[in-house]
Structure 1
Amino acid sequence: MNSYNLQNFRDGLRDGIPIALGYLAVSFTLGIAARNFGIHAFPATIMSLTNFTSAGEFAALSIISMGAPYLELALSQAIINLRYLLMSCALSQKLSEDSSLFHRFWTGFFITDEIFGVSSSRPGKLNPFYTYGTAAVAIPGWALGTCLGVVLGTALPARITRALSVALYGMFLAVIIPPARKNKVIAGLVIAAMLCSSLFSYLPFLSGISTGMKVIILTILLSGAAAILFPVKEDNKDAE
């Protein structure tokens, strides 16, 4: 690893620490849910190491507990996690043109909402080692929280357990507020996303759409509108 890649990896480790701490708190509640469904610490931890999505894992626990077929489990995960396909496509545009398929694959594999947020806000072209560094500390935090939730979940009072789940929202705010303060377009998109999400939650003909599909629809509409109305000019220096 050359010095440039090493520096990006270190930057990723640094920025991944608060994500890992948030993951540790949030996945603790996931571990408690896994315990309640009769899943032990080892399989629950493996699940969190291979499936980095809170919504997907909570849905999987419910489906597994009902004894549903594997096909139903696979389809539910595909629908819930389709947004990561869009995030991967968006993030691939930040990689340099000469990035290998190996780096493109692993950069996409490690994408979560928060890792995507910090990686996409990285100025200039994205060095994949930055994403690797972020994932190297964030993903173990998610898996460790799941394991601790299974092992120690019943030892904590219910009010503390409920409070831990709030950490996820604080983590989202930590991702979107800094770039929104610097860029009025991003701030406007955040507000528009919240308003549109509220409409999808309360309007009768939209509230029945699954959470994963809502995210996909809003992402396509809002990002498409932003790309048309506020195109980003390419900087030749970023391609170096």
Structure 2
Amino acid sequence: MSTFENIKEGSRDGIPICLGYLAVSFAFGIQATRSGLTIFQAVLMSLTNVTSAGQFSSLDMIASHATYFEVAMVQLVINMRYLLMSCSLSQKLSPKISLTKRLGISYGVTDEIFGVSVLRKGELKPSYSMGLIIISVFGWVLGTFLGGISGEIMPQKLISALGMAIYGMFIAIIIPESKESKPVLLVVLSAMLLSVLFTYMPVLKLVSSGFRIIIITVVISALAAFLFPIPVSDDEKDKANTKNS
């Protein structure tokens, strides 16, 4: 398959991601302008970050004048999963792929793009990833731009109503998984409880929003990993024994 055909196929597979990103980033654009960012700043953030959870979490920190260290640590903790995704995708790349192309692919490693890429049969071609990433990021940036414009011209009541889409998005993510998995449900409830404690407890409420996110994320994820470890399959055990022998 030629480079152009790979780009074309990647772009086609990225259309559903593009449409989903358009809706979510529209809400981000509205929230960003409400937090004091200009449209240009909001669009630049979406173009350079491409991470919904990271960008949404940064808005309150920016509005409260959090330190650079806080922002950096929060982004590191929230986006650490992309390290694992990148390691997984690297196994689908040819050893001949240059570092420049690998860095280009790493720019667009998101949950959705990773899901499409890892399920693609055979070797992952950089040209396919290029098409997939370009169309997806286009939807993310365009939605941010449209949301930013809407946040400046739409009535405040309508903006407040659309701003609820952010919470609806996160609820839509956690509810299905919580229904199917008891560990996930306990993690969600524990995180909510800890967040409430940090909000209302006399001493804990003095902790800044950035460090709250860091502490809650690290504590809950560590407890979940300890209490609910993922069982190792027989195939993985056999592979490990083969490597060690």
Q: Give the 3-state SS of the residue equivalent to 1:152 in structure 2.
A: helix
Q: Distance in 1 between matches of 2:117 and 2:222?
A: 19
Counterpart position of 2:90: 92
TM-score, structure 1 normalization: 0.74
User: Between Structure 1 and Structure 2, whose CA radius of gyration is higher?
Assistant: 2
Does the aligned pair in 2 maintain the 1:193–1:218 contact within 8 Å? no
SS in 2 for 1:103: helix
Aligned partners of 1:86 and 1:216 also within 8 Å: no
Please list the CA deviations of residues 54-105 of structure 1 after superposition, one character each: whole Å capped at 9, or x if unmatched.
Answer: 1100111111101111111111111110000110001101112222222222
On the 8 A contact 2:92/2:123 being kept in 1, the answer is yes
Does structure 1 retain, via aligned residues, the 8 Å contact 2:187–2:224?
no
Structure 1 range deviating more: 190-199 or 58-67: 190-199
Superposition CA RMSD, Å: 3.7
Alignment correspondent of 2:154: 155
Q: Structure 2 CA distance, aligned partners of 1:89 and 1:192?
A: 30
Aligned residues: 214
| 1:238 corresponding residue in structure 2 | none
Residue from 54, 57, 63 that aligns with 1:56: 54
Alpha-carbon contact 1:26-1:165 (below 8 Å) kept: no
Relative to the length of structure 2, the TM-score reads 0.72
SS of the residue corresponding to residue 124 of structure 1 reads coil
1:1-240 equivalent positions in 2, closer than 5 A = 4-153=2-151, 155=154, 157=158, 162=164, 194-203=181-190, 210-211=216-217, 225=231, 228-231=233-236
**Hey, what does 2:202 align to over in structure 1?**
none
Distance 1:164 1:129 in 2: 33
Gap regions ≥5 residues in structure 1: 173-189, 234-240
- Structure 1 residues 126, 217: closer, same or farther in 2, change over 3 A? farther
Post-superposition offset of 1:162:
4.1
Note the alpha carbon deviations across 1:90-123, whole angstroms, 9 max, x for none.
1101112222222222111210110001000001
Note if contact 2:178-2:185 (Cα within 8 Å) is conserved in structure 1: no
SS in 1 for 2:65: coil
Partner of 2:2, secondary structure, is helix
Query: 1:161/1:65 Cα in 2 relative to 1: closer, same or farther (>3 Å)?
Result: closer
Cα distance change, pair 161–75 in 1 and its aligned pair in 2 (3 A): closer
Q: Which runs of 5+ in 2 are unaligned?
A: 196-214, 239-245
